[in-house]
């Protein structure tokens, strides 16, 4: 039997989404990734956004969080680190506000439920020095890796 992937508790999970050729919907291709660094090593997850789902960066950012939530240990919640303000803002909303029919991504957050207990905003595409200057040096490595993978 195949081992089931689960995130390890108490370690941050970095998420990111991206889209190549987003200005040309005929060839646009979106994908996402999640990364966790632990003393045992790097844990990663990558996904291509399937056809039929909008091929945009913001959709892929949200799909990354869905994939993280699906792989959390039962009855456990995760802490994500993300460069997408829309994801961080949604994660901070109440359950009802997250899933409201007025919100474009409400259906995505209905899948996630309350599995994400905290979301930290990290600045995107910073050098190590810039991360230090922004007070985010402890987040640089995980964010840089997930950015490459997405």
Nearest to 105 by CA among 150, 143, 54: 54
Euclidean distance between CA atoms 53 and 125, whole angstroms = 26
d(CA 143, CA 29): 21
Lowest mean pLDDT segment, chosen from 49-53, 69-73, 88-92, 133-137? 88-92
Q: How confident is the model at residue 102 (pLDDT cuts 50, 70, 90)?
A: low
**What pLDDT is attached to residue 138?**
95
**Whole-number mean pLDDT of the chain?**
88
The number of residues in the chain equals: 150
Of 6-10, 111-115, 142-146, the least confident: 111-115
Can you tell me the distance from the alpha carbon of 128 to that of 136, in angstroms, rounded to the nearest whole number?
9
Q: Are 127 and 118 in contact (CB under 8 A)?
A: no
- pTM for this prediction: 0.89
Residue with tokens 């195949």: 2
pLDDT on residue 80: 96
Q: Is residue 124 over pLDDT 80?
A: yes
**Residue 95 scores a pLDDT above 90:** no
Query: Is there a contact between 143 and 121 (Cβ–Cβ < 8 Å)?
Result: no
């Amino acid at each position: 039997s195949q081992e089931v992937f689960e995130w390890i508790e108490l370690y941050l999970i970095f998420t990111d989404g991206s889209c190549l050729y987003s200005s040309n919907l005929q060839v646009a291709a979106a994908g996402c990734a999640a990364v966790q660094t632990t003393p045992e090593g790097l844990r990663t997850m990558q996904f291509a956004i399937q056809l039929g789902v909008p091929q945009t960066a913001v959709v892929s950012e949200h799909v990354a969080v869905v994939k993280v939530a699906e792989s959390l240990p039962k009855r456990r919640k995760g802490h994500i680190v993300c460069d997408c303000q829309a994801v961080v803002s949604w994660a901070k909303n109440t359950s009802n506000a997250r899933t409201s029919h007025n919100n474009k991504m409400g259906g995505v957050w209905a899948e996630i439920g309350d599995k994400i207990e905290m979301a930290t905003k990290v600045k995107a595409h910073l050098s190590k020095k810039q991360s230090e200057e922004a007070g985010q040096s402890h987040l640089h490595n995980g964010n840089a890796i997930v950015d490459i993978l997405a």
